[in-house]
């Protein structure tokens, strides 16, 4: 890993690294906040998956999470949202496909299949790299926003025992039934919709092997709520499966990082408690 930058913040450190990824066959950049407790011991990690058009920097600059993370002794890792620097056909033509829009799937269709393997990168490659190279433990939670909330839910539901905790802000809950998801899945996974089901949290929860409690916050003034996000369908699926879900609807809040910054401390405490940290 090549260290790109480092800033001290709340007696901890925010670092950005670049490294070669075997999963994406490209160089990838990620950010990591290391709390001051790493001076004495390894600490657990929260993986934060960002949404459409974002990079590793959006959460770091806008969420306001590091003060409490430093107090809790919780590292936070922010991957990018897609491979970069490829210039594939149609990769940069729209905000919801290609660059900045990896959807945390392993693409099987060309021209995406050789590089757009963000599921493998986030779930397998990046944690293995960091646990070997940085003072972090294998205990981890996963969270995200919008497209990243979709990615967090899918990663947790598909990998029982891998994560101690999961949460999301305004996630794309049922991507096989919304325009964003259908566009991305058609391009990345092909026309066979049975192949899409492995990346749809609303469909996965019925067969989840671990009843890992899920926390979701959603704003009522979110412009994408009805057409793209569909939390009510995820709630119905959780109720039918008996899967523990806390879905909090917040009047007046939208899809922005103002919303995330308002409630991020609740999510950090949710993860810290599951990770055995003093809350």
Catalytically active residues are 146, 222, 255
- Nearest Cα to 41, choosing from 66, 8, 65, 74? 74
Count, residues in the chain: 279
Tokens 């996974």 sit at which residue? 189
Give the DSSP H or E segment for 244: none
Buried b (16+ CB within 10 A) or exposed e, 184-199: bbebbbeeeeeebeeb
- Nearest Cα to 106, choosing from 93, 90, 123? 123
SS3 category, 17: strand
Give the DSSP H or E segment for 250: strand 245-250
Alpha helices in the chain (DSSP H): 57-62, 66-72, 118-120, 126-133, 147-158, 179-189, 201-204, 231-241, 257-274
- Cβ neighbours of residue 64 closer than 8 Å, sequence gap 6 or more: 261, 264
């Amino acid at each position: 890993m090549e260290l790109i930058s480092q800033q001290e913040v709340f007696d901890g450190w925010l670092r950005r690294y670049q490294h070669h990824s075997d999963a994406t066959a490209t160089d990838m950049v990620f950010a990591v906040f290391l709390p001051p407790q790493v001076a004495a011991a390894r600490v657990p990690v929260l993986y934060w998956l960002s949404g459409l058009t974002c990079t590793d920097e959006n959460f770091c600059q806008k969420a306001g999470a590091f003060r409490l993370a430093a107090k809790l002794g919780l590292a936070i890792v922010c991957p990018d949202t897609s491979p970069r620097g490829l210039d594939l056909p149609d990769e940069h033509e729209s905000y919801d496909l290609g660059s900045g829009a990896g959807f945390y799937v392993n693409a099987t269709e060309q021209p995406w299949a050789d590089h757009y393997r963000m599921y493998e990168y986030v779930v397998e490659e990046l944690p293995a790299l960091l646990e070997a190279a940085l003072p972090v433990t294998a205990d981890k939670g996963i969270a995200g926003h919008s497209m990243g909330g979709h990615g967090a839910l899918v990663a947790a539901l598909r990998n029982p025992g891998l994560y101690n905790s999961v949460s999301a802000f305004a996630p794309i809950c049922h991507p096989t039934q919304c325009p964003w998801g259908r566009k991305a899945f058609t391009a990345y996974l092909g026309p066979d919709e049975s192949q899409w089901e492995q990346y749809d949290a609303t469909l996965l929860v019925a067969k989840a092997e671990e009843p890992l409690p899920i926390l979701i916050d959603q704003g009522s003034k979110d412009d994408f709520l009805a057409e793209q996000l569909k939390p009510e369908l995820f709630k119905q699926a959780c109720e039918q499966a008996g899967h523990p879900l806390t879905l909090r609807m917040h009047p007046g809040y939208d899809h922005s990082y103002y919303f995330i910054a308002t409630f991020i401390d609740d999510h950090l405490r949710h993860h810290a408690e599951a990770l055995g940290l003093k809350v």
